[in-house]
């Protein structure tokens, strides 16, 4: 592996920013550190850059212990959140700055600067001053300035947060493309889960200084390790209940929130009668009119995974419609329905009585 955090802890006074984090990142990955603000992700990135020193633990890059190595001697470069483009240098001078320090000969330097500017599509802007550039262009300068040094790792601190929504979407694809083109390992900090899911090959979700889960975007969404992950990534219905059946290949949870038990097609490594949480994503819940027959649950437990409810509110978003459905017991369930066919009235009106049901592979049992 290229980067290894070994039991890294960082304290600022009595505040623990990063709490005993161990993490490996492989070469060539587009790795994302994700989490709410104050979760320690930026501190972790800054420790990798050498801008902060771990209180405890070791950080290795390519097998070399980085503790005590100053930022200017590390094989990493960073794209700062504010871009930090030098205002007194033009675009080409900004990009050449790091190469001049490395005493790269002039001819090679100019060629590399030209290549880097071409990579970020800024060739015509080489002689512009930073104050004559847009935010997106300044970010490209910061990217070129870091990549031209050919670092082993490129660090990105909230790279898209200062851009407007349209540009952010465009840059998402472009950053991922640049990463594939240059093959450099990217480590990106973001609080925006869409950004992390869309770009990263793997994500580490953090909360209060600790790692919650390290997984691919798909696993993070479909197989969250705990309640925090399930709740942070996307939208989910969480029901607190008791494990009533715990077989190797299936399990059932009874919950006071619903009349019927929840049946899942995976075993749970917990004792029967344990308190657990069950999560069901809104798009995995099917909705049928209450006038129709009661849907049947899984063969092993036909009464499970079905509930009756009334639509309270709906939000039509074009591609999908979100519903808040209340059960007779007062539990609110979020349901999303794709608008697969064109319709004059795509959202069901509030007050409509419906059946909600889901497949046994839809719920996930969460122990923590």
Partner 1 sequence: MASARGISGGSRSAFWAVFLTPALWMMLFFVVPLSVIWAYSFGRTLGLTEVVVTGTLANYVRVFDPVYLMIFAKSLVFAGVTTAICLIIGFPYALVMTFASARAKILLLLAIMLPFWTNLLVRTYALMAVMRTEGWINDGFGLVGLGPFEMLHTNFAVITGLVYVHLPFIVLPLFSTLDRLDRSLIEASLDLGAGHLRTIFQVVIPIVWPGILSAVLLCFIPALGSYLTPDLLGGPDSQMIASVIERQFKRANDWPFGAALSFMLMYLTLAAMAWRALAERRAAGKEAH
Cα 221-227-230 angle, rounded to 5 deg = 15
CB nearer to partner 1: give 120 or 285: 120
Max distance between CA atoms of the chain, in angstroms, equals 79
Determine if 80 is a binding residue for partner 1 (CB under 8 A). Answer: yes
Q: Please select the residue that binds partner 1; options are 112, 138, 149, 227, rule is CB under 8 A.
A: 149
Closest contact distance (angstroms) between CB of 124 and partner 1 is 16
Q: Please select the residue that binds partner 1; options are 35, 40, 54, 98, rule is CB under 8 A.
A: 98
Output the six-digit token pair for 149: 């040094």
Closest contact distance (angstroms) between CB of 338 and partner 1 is 43
Q: Please select the residue that binds partner 1; options are 71, 136, 270, 346, rule is CB under 8 A.
A: 71
Of the CA atoms within 13 Å of residue 66, those in its CB half-sphere come to 27
Determine if 263 is a binding residue for partner 1 (CB under 8 A). Answer: no
Determine if 146 is a binding residue for partner 1 (CB under 8 A). Answer: yes
Instruction: Give the interface segment with partner 1, choosing from 85-93, 161-169, 183-191, 334-342 (CB under 8 A).
Output: 85-93
d(Cα 360, Cα 357) in Å, to the nearest integer? 10
Instruction: Give the interface segment with partner 1, choosing from 86-94, 214-222, 223-231, 350-358 (CB under 8 A).
Output: 86-94
- Give the phi and the psi of residue 310 in degrees, each rounded to 5: -125, 135
What binding mask, one character per residue, do residues 5-44 give for partner 1 by CB under 8 A, x or -? Answer: ----------------------------------------
Determine if 49 is a binding residue for partner 1 (CB under 8 A). Answer: yes
CB nearer to partner 1: give 22 or 82: 82
Closest contact distance (angstroms) between CB of 64 and partner 1 is 17
d(Cα 77, Cα 294) in Å, to the nearest integer? 59
Q: Please select the residue that binds partner 1; options are 32, 42, 43, 77, rule is CB under 8 A.
A: 77
| CA–CA distances in Å: residue 300 to residues 249, 250, 312 | 12, 9, 32
Closest contact distance (angstroms) between CB of 310 and partner 1 is 51
Determine if 86 is a binding residue for partner 1 (CB under 8 A). Answer: yes
Closest contact distance (angstroms) between CB of 52 and partner 1 is 11
Q: Please select the residue that binds partner 1; options are 129, 150, 208, 266, rule is CB under 8 A.
A: 129
d(Cα 141, Cα 51) in Å, to the nearest integer? 21
Determine if 131 is a binding residue for partner 1 (CB under 8 A). Answer: yes
For residues 224 and 233, is the Cβ–Cβ distance under 8 A?
Answer: yes
Closest contact distance (angstroms) between CB of 177 and partner 1 is 24
Determine if 117 is a binding residue for partner 1 (CB under 8 A). Answer: no
Closest contact distance (angstroms) between CB of 90 and partner 1 is 9
Q: Please select the residue that binds partner 1; options are 82, 134, 177, 235, rule is CB under 8 A.
A: 82
CB nearer to partner 1: give 80 or 223: 80
Q: Which residues bind partner 1 (CB under 8 A)?
A: 49-51, 70-73, 76-78, 80-82, 84, 86-88, 97-98, 101-102, 129, 131, 142, 145-146, 149
């Amino acid at each position: 592996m290229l980067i290894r955090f070994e039991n890294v802890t960082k304290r600022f006074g009595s505040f623990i920013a990063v709490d005993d984090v161990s993490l490996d990142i492989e070469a060539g990955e587009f790795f994302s550190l994700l989490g709410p603000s104050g979760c320690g992700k930026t501190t972790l990135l800054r420790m990798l850059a050498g801008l902060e020193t771990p209180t405890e633990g070791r950080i290795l890059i390519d097998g070399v212990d980085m503790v005590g190595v100053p930022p200017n001697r590390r094989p990493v470069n960073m794209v700062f959140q504010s871009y930090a483009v030098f205002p007194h240098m033009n675009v080409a001078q900004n990009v050449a700055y790091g190469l001049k320090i490395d005493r790269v000969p002039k001819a090679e330097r100019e060629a590399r600067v030209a290549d880097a500017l071409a990579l970020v599509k800024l060739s015509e802007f080489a002689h512009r001053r930073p104050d004559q550039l847009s935010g997106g262009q300044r970010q490209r300068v910061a990217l070129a300035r870091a990549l031209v040094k050919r670092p082993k790792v490129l660090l990105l601190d909230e790279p898209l947060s200062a851009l407007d929504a349209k540009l952010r979407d465009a840059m998402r694809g472009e950053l991922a493309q640049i990463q594939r083109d240059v093959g450099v390992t990217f480590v990106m900090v973001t609080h925006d889960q869409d950004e992390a899911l869309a770009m990263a090959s793997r994500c580490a979700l953090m909360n209060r200084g600790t790692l919650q889960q390290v997984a691919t975007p798909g696993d993070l969404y479909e197989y969250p390790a705990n309640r925090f992950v399930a709740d942070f990534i996307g939208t989910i219905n969480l029901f607190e209940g008791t494990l009533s059946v715990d077989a190797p290949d299936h399990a059932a949870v009874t919950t006071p929130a619903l009349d019927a038990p929840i049946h899942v097609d995976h075993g749970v490594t917990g004792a029967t009668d344990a308190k657990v949480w069950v999560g069901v994503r809104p798009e995995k819940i099917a909705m049928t009119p209450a006038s129709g027959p009661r849907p049947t649950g899984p063969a092993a437990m036909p009464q499970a995974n079905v509930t009756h409810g009334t639509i309270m509110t709906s939000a039509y978003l074009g591609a999908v419609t979100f519903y808040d459905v209340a059960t007779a017991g007062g539990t609110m369930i979020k349901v999303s329905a794709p608008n697969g066919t064109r319709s004059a009235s795509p959202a069901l009106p509030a007050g409509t009585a419906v059946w909600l049901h889901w497949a046994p592979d839809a719920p996930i049992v969460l122990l923590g």
